[in-house]
């Protein structure tokens, strides 16, 4: 009888254990190189991605994966006092999409386990390049402007061109303080980046906020 009484708690424990996620984490470094009339300039930022993966889906919700990203945007001083920012966006799965040929035929659980061991950087092109912005006046968040990766000259003047954007898994520590050092207003800002403007849903800068520059 005692053994039978122990069975339900044991089964409950096994059920709870089976619902626990597999946890993965890695640091990834985004780097930008920009050509200018004065020569190349560059910038980079290291962020941390943390993942909880639920094989078969989370109990009750069916959610398979939960991501958390900590870090800050890339800052590049393209010209004296003129800055380019590569925003955080949805960077949690960026390495997978950029290097998906390495993970052909693998399940999400399998490639999540492999990403922390990647050693080769990958070049980002097209839609994989994170959103780029600048400020006409670095002291005024209302002057934020979208930057076309294929036409930096439109924002910064003739002779300025995006050279390369790369992403790599790294052991380097998280980048801290660069955004706030350039955007002195960042910590005290209480409204959306760009101010209280009426942007339509779907516009590139719709919902732009402080979290696009720094998370965690």
**Residue 87 confidence (pLDDT):** 97
**Residue 204 confidence (pLDDT):** 74
**Residue 77 confidence (pLDDT):** 98
Give the chain's length. Answer: 216
pTM exceeding the 0.75 threshold for the entire prediction: yes
**Residue 103 confidence (pLDDT):** 96
CA-angle at 97, arms to 94 and 99, nearest 5°: 105
**Residue 62 confidence (pLDDT):** 53
Q: How many CB atoms lie within 10 A of CB 94?
A: 21
**Residue 7 confidence (pLDDT):** 43
**Residue 168 confidence (pLDDT):** 98
Burial annotation 51-87 (CB, 10 A radius, 16+ → b, else e) = bbbbeeebeeeeeebeeebbbbbbbbebbeebbbbbb
What whole-number distance in Å separates Cα of residue 61 and Cα of residue 69?
Answer: 22
CA-angle at 51, arms to 95 and 86, nearest 5°: 40
Q: Nearest 10 degrees: CA dihedral of 38, 175, 178, 95?
A: 60
The answer to whether 98 touches 122, Cβ cutoff 8 Å, is yes
In the chain (216 residues long), the average pLDDT of successive 10-residue segments reads: 49 48 94 98 98 70 80 98 95 95 94 95 96 96 95 98 98 97 90 69 76 92
Tokens for 102? 């390495």
């Amino acid at each position: 009888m005692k053994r039978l009484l122990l069975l339900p708690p044991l089964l409950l424990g096994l059920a709870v254990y089976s619902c626990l996620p597999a946890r993965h984490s890695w640091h990834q470094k985004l780097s930008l190189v920009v050509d200018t009339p004065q020569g190349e300039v560059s910038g980079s930022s290291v962020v941390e991605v943390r993942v909880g993966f639920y094989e078969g889906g989370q109990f009750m919700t069916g959610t398979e994966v939960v991501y958390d990203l900590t870090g800050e945007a890339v800052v590049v001083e393209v010209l004296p006092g003129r800055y380019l920012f590569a925003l955080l966006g949805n960077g949690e799965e960026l390495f997978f999409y950029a290097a998906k040929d390495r993970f052909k035929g693998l399940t999400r659980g399998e490639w999540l386990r492999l990403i922390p061991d990647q050693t080769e950087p990958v070049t980002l092109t097209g839609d994989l390049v994170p959103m780029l912005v600048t400020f006409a006046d670095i002291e005024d968040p209302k002057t934020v402007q979208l930057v076309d990766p294929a036409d930096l000259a439109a924002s910064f003047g003739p002779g300025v061109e995006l050279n390369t954007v790369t992403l790599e898994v790294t052991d380097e520590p998280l980048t801290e303080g660069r955004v706030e050092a350039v955007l002195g207003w960042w910590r005290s800002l209480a409204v959306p980046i760009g101010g209280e403007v009426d942007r339509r849903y779907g516009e590139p800068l719709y919902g732009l906020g402080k979290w696009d520059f720094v998370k965690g």
